[in-house]
């Protein structure tokens, strides 16, 4: 299974917690998780970023 997390790029309270929860749950099941930032613009213009628990924890620690 492979999950794509596509975020819009703006401030959204609680989004970091959701990304972390999705990533950790998926990894526990052996699934692959990829992050696309900045919505569809990011999907077309940027390379996907693989998410692993270390990245998800970093996201939570740096949340503003």
Q: So what's the pLDDT on residue 29?
A: 94
- Alpha-carbon distance values, 50 to 2, 13, 24, 43 (Å): 10, 22, 13, 13
Residue 5 in this model has a pLDDT that exceeds 70: yes
Q: If phi over 0 gives left and psi between -120 and 50 gives alpha, with beta otherwise, what is residue 61?
A: alpha
Task: Report the predicted TM-score, pTM, of the whole model to 2 decimal places.
Answer: 0.66
Give the residue among 62, 3, 63, 11 at the shortest CA–CA distance from 32: 3
pLDDT band for position 57 (50/70/90)? low
Mean pLDDT of 35-51: 75
List the domain boundaries for the chain. Answer: 2-61
d(CA 44, CA 32): 20
In this predicted model, what pLDDT tens digit does every residue of 11-24 receive, in sequence order?
777 888 888 888 88
Q: Is the pLDDT of residue 40 over 90?
A: no
């Amino acid at each position: 299974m492979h999950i794509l997390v596509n975020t819009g790029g703006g401030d959204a309270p609680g989004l970091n917690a959701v990304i972390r929860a999705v990533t950790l749950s998926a990894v526990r099941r052996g699934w692959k998780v990829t992050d696309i930032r900045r919505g569809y613009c990011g999907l077309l213009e940027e390379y996907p970023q693989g998410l692993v628990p270390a990245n998800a924890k970093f996201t939570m620690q740096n949340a503003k």
